[in-house]
């Protein structure tokens, strides 16, 4: 996965707020979703999962060909079912769509 301002794609960062006791369950559900469903959807380019040290937050980073592809995946019955199950394990989650405006590397 290479992040660049020249890429014409949609970046989505979803944050999940949870307790350390549910972190592994939510992470497993997300891994299953990416492995078995999300990465097979039209327009999916790449994705990554991140967990903070305290295991109270998960961030999912994904890139899509365009906004419509991401929204179609979210609206699918399969993803709606998965998101309902995930929502029961965490206090909240929120996908936000972003555009890359600048990339920095080492000096």
Give the model confidence (pLDDT) of 29-87 as tens digits.
Answer: 999 999 999 999 999 999 999 999 999 999 999 999 999 999 999 999 999 999 999 99
Is pLDDT above 80 for 7? no
Rounded Cα distance, 94 and 22, in Å:
17
Token representation of residue 80: 């709606």
* Residue pointed to by tokens 């999912």: 60
Q: How confident is the model at residue 4 (pLDDT cuts 50, 70, 90)?
A: confident
Q: Are 62 and 1 in contact, with CB atoms under 8 Å apart? A: no
Q: How confident is the model at residue 20 (pLDDT cuts 50, 70, 90)?
A: confident
Is pLDDT above 80 for 2? no
Rounded Cα distance, 35 and 53, in Å:
24
Domains, the chain: 10-98 (3.30.70.100)
Token representation of residue 6: 């020249």
- Per-residue pLDDT, averaged over 15-29, amounts to 95
Q: Report the candidate in 8, 5, 63 with the shortest Cα–Cα distance to residue 34.
A: 63
Rounded Cα distance, 98 and 64, in Å:
11
Q: Are 85 and 16 in contact, with CB atoms under 8 Å apart? A: no
pLDDT of residue 78: 97
Q: Report the candidate in 95, 16, 2 with the shortest Cα–Cα distance to residue 59.
A: 16
Token representation of residue 30: 């997300």
pLDDT of residue 49: 97
């Amino acid at each position: 996965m290479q992040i660049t301002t020249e890429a014409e794609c949609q970046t989505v960062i979803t944050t999940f707020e949870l307790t350390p006791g549910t972190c592994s369950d939510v992470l497993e559900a997300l891994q299953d979703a990416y492995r078995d469903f999300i990465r097979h959807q039209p327009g999916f380019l790449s994705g990554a999962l991140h967990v903070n040290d305290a295991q109270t937050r998960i961030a999912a980073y994904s890139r899509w060909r365009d906004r419509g592809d991401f929204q179609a995946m979210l609206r699918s019955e399969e993803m709606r079912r998965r998101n309902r199950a995930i929502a029961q394990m965490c206090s909240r989650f929120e996908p936000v769509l972003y555009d890359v405006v600048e990339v920095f590397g080492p000096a």
